Chains A and B, each alone.
Chain A
Amino acid sequence: MAVYDVPYMTRTRDLYRAQGYEQDYRWAHFEDTPFTELKKPLSESRIAVITTAMPDTETGRSQRQVYSSNCDPIPESLYTDELSWDKKATHTKDVASFLPLNQLNQLKAAGRIASIAEQFHSVPTDYSQRNTMEKDGPDILKRCQEDNVDIALLVPL
């Protein structure tokens, strides 16, 4: 079978139609893109990590909202059941396969980055782009600023 980039937008559109939704989902699209240069070398930078996985707790499983969780110790599991990942081809039992805290700890030890924020942040995927842009975006920004981070690594599943 040929190698090609999976057309997820087309697949999602077809899936919505097959489930009887009359309106196609409209993915966010912008003509312009912001860009900020690094203010200091990576080796002096503090990094934030942001994931779409939720804490594997009773609240994390039931309430879709922004959470901040400790990076140390690295959580042994995160709640990913509601997310649209490929449940036939793989699994999410190894947190390091989607939340790179173990990797960043090694890179910090090697001097590649200065530090990792004490907490990583979970942001829910949301059908409503307005929720993400007007509520979660500003919330995550505030948490990053309070953590005094210089750079951010974001990993959607």
Chain B
Amino acid sequence: MSLIARHLEANGIPTVIIGSAIDIVEHCSVPRYLHTDFPLGNPCGKPYDREMQLDITTQALDLLENASATNTTERTKHIWSENNEWRGNYSKVADSNREHLRLKGEKRRAQQTEIKASGESRAPMIS
């Protein structure tokens, strides 16, 4: 998505990204980025929390309006939970799931070979 923002911006359309993977977005370098420090999936606010969701989109528009230079990052004030275990759990590789992941990779590569043979050139990132 960062690549799309860069392309629009380079062609005259100002952009702002709302996301939750700050390392990936900043590594790419984008004009304006609002970071929601949540588990991936709800960058616009917690599910069904309408007040928080409106606040985050409002901040994104403010950022769009006020950023005076490129690579401007802001963070929302919201926190997901007092419990931060989700930070360590995401995509965790441990002895307990190593064999499962190895088999998953094998299965995926077989699927990719089939997909490629069918002429499809697109593949999602693994998860």
Contacts and interface: CB of A to CB of B under 8 A. Distances in A.
25 contacts: A4-B87, A7-B23, A27-B28, A29-B29, A30-B29, A33-B70, A64-B122, A88-B90, A90-B41, A97-B41, A97-B43, A97-B44, A100-B53, A103-B54, A107-B57, A112-B61, A123-B1, A126-B123, A129-B3, A133-B3, A141-B7, A152-B15, A154-B17, A154-B18, A156-B2
A126 B126 CA distance: 10
Contacts of A96: 44-45, 50, 53
Contacts of B118: none
Given A34-B31, A85-B40, A25 B125 contact: yes
Contacts of B11: 141
B102 A19 contact: yes
Interface residues of B, number: 80
Interface in A102-155: 102-104, 106-107, 112-113, 123-129, 131-133, 136-138, 140-141, 144, 149-155
Interface string B6-22: 11111111111111011
B44 A100 contact: yes
A155 B58 contact: no
B127 A19 contact: no
A27 B40 contact: no
Contacts of A84: 40, 124-127
Scoring A17, A100, A126, A151 by chain B CB atoms within 10 A of each residue's CB, the highest score goes to: A100
A35 B69 CA distance: 7
How many chain A residues sit at the interface, stated as a range, is 35 or more
A30 B6 contact: yes
Interface in B33-68: 37-48, 50, 53-54, 56-58, 60-61, 64-65
B77 interface: no
A91 B8 contact: no
B2 A28 contact: yes
Contacts of A156: 1-2, 17, 19, 21, 43
A71 interface: no
B70 A34 contact: yes
Interface string A30-69: 1111111111001000001010100000000000110000
